[in-house]
Amino acid sequence: MARPANPHAMHSAHSGRTRTAPPLMPDQFPLRGRYRAYTLFDLTGAVYLVMGLVMLRVVWALGSGSHAWQPLREAFASPAWVAFHCFALICVVFVGVRFFRLFPKAQPPRIGPLKPPPGLAIYALLYLVWITVSIAFLLIVGMGLFR
């Protein structure tokens, strides 16, 4: 059975005299059918929130000197943190792929006289930038720039 929607969903500002049954949400929302991918997409926001907080902690540790930084580095080597970061990577890839799939059609047909490139070119450009930035980060980390 579908859950109730907001009781004012699609209501008229000038209601008639007929008593109506309140609106219901789509049956499959939020965890079945195509809604599942959308809900998972939104849930990844929680992962980004944790990642943001971790990033703040890292910045704080960096600013506090090696006595704060070293224990944090060691903690990040623990299986729990490695698992979390692997999970976060999966979330980022999932969101990236979904975003890239939907991004081209969100482009306006033209800005003044300028037309966007074909969808395929936008896809290719997005993935090229993503891969390039990822490789750049890997090189920076791999070369030990921050060691």
Partner 1 sequence: MSSASKKTLVVTRFDPDRDSEPRSQRYEIPVQDDWMVLDALNYIKDEVDGTLAHRWSCRMAVCGSCGMMVNGEPRLTCKDHLRQYGDTVTVAPLANFPVVRDLVIEMDGFMEKLKSVKPWIVRAKELAVEAGPTRQSPEQLEEFKQFSMCINCMLCYSACPVVSNEPEFLGPAAIALGHRYNLDSRDEGARERNQVFRGEGTVFSCSYANECSEVCPKHVDPAAAVNQSKFNAVIDWATSLVLPRGGKE
Task: Give the CA-trace dihedral at 91, 97, 99, 100, to 10 degrees.
Answer: 150
As a whole number of angstroms, the distance between CA 60 and CA 78 comes to: 20
Among 70, 83, 91, 111, binds partner 1 (CB under 8 A): 111
By CB under 8 A, tell whether 147 contacts partner 1.
no
Per CB under 8 A, which of residues 55..94 are in contact with partner 1? none
By CB under 8 A, tell whether 36 contacts partner 1.
no
- Region from 22-30, 57-65, 83-91, 131-139 binding partner 1, contact rule CB under 8 A: 22-30
Q: Determine how many CB atoms are found less than 10 A away from the CB of residue 23.
A: 14
As a whole number of angstroms, the distance between CA 37 and CA 32 comes to: 9
- Residue 95 is encoded by which pair of tokens? 């969101």
Q: Which is nearer to partner 1, 26 or 52 (CB)?
A: 26
Binding site for partner 1 (CB under 8 A): 2, 5-6, 8-16, 18-30, 32-35, 38, 42, 102, 105-111
